[in-house]
Amino acid sequence: MQEVTDAAFWELVQQRGGADVYWTEYCRVHAVSCLEKWIVASVRANPTGRPVVAQMIGNDIPHLVRTARQLEQLPVAAIDFNLGCPAPVVYKKCAGGGLLRDPQRVDAILGALRETVRIKFTVKTRLGFESAAAFATLLPIFARHSLDLLTVHARTVTQGYGLPVHYDLIRRAAEMMPCPVLANGHIYSADQALAVLARTKARGLMIGRGAIRNPWLFSQIRQRLRGEPVMYPTGRDVLAYIEALWATNDTNGVSEKLQAQWMKRFTNYIGEGLGAHAGRFLYAIRRAETRAEFFRVCREHLDHDDALKLEPSETGP
Ligand X SMILES: Cc1cc2nc3c(=O)[nH]c(=O)nc-3n(C[C@H](O)[C@H](O)[C@H](O)COP(=O)(O)O)c2cc1C
Point out the residues that are catalytic.
85
- Least distance to ligand X, CB of residue 289, Å: 22
CA separation for the pair 96, 81 (Å, rounded) = 9
Among 1-9, 104-112, 277-285, 308-316, the segment contacting ligand X (CB under 6 A): 1-9
CA separation for the pair 283, 91 (Å, rounded) = 32
Residue in 145, 186, 213, 301 binding ligand X, rule: CB under 6 A:
186
Does residue 202 bind ligand X (CB under 6 A)? no
**Which residue has the CB atom at the shortest distance from ligand X?**
208
- Which one, 185 or 235, has the nearer CB to ligand X? 185
Total residues contacting ligand X by CB under 6 A comes to: 18
Between β-strands 149-153 and 120-125, what pairing exists: parallel, antiparallel or unpaired? parallel
Does residue 153 bind ligand X (CB under 6 A)? yes
Collapsing DSSP states into helix, strand and coil, what is residue 184?
Answer: strand
- Least distance to ligand X, CB of residue 40, Å: 15
For the window 35-64, what string marks contact with ligand X as x by the rule CB under 6 A? --------------------x---------
How far is CA 44 from each of CA 28, 78, 125, 300, rounded to the nearest angstrom? 18, 14, 26, 38
Restricted to residues 113-152, the positions that interact with ligand X (CB under 6 A) are 124
Does residue 284 bind ligand X (CB under 6 A)? no
Residue in 26, 218, 241, 281 binding ligand X, rule: CB under 6 A:
26
Residue in 184, 200, 214, 220 binding ligand X, rule: CB under 6 A:
184
Residue in 76, 79, 152, 187 binding ligand X, rule: CB under 6 A:
187
Does residue 83 bind ligand X (CB under 6 A)? no
> CB 42: neighbour CB atoms within 10 A?
23
* Phi-psi domain of 275 (left: phi exceeds 0; alpha: psi -120 through 50; beta: other): left
- Which one, 98 or 235, has the nearer CB to ligand X? 98
Q: What is the DSSP string of 52-106?
A: EEEEEE---HHHHHHHHHHHHTSS-SEEEEEE----HHHHTTT-GGGGGG-HHHH
Exposed, middle or buried, 149 (CB in 10 Å: 0-12/13-18/19+)? buried
Does residue 230 bind ligand X (CB under 6 A)? no
- Output DSSP code: residue 2: T
Residue in 58, 185, 204, 312 binding ligand X, rule: CB under 6 A:
185
Does residue 1 bind ligand X (CB under 6 A)? yes
Does residue 208 bind ligand X (CB under 6 A)? yes
**E strands within the chain?**
22-28, 52-57, 78-83, 120-125, 149-153, 181-184, 204-206
The residues of the shown chain that bind ligand X, judged by CB under 6 A, are: 1-2, 4, 25-26, 55, 82, 84, 124, 153, 184-187, 207-210
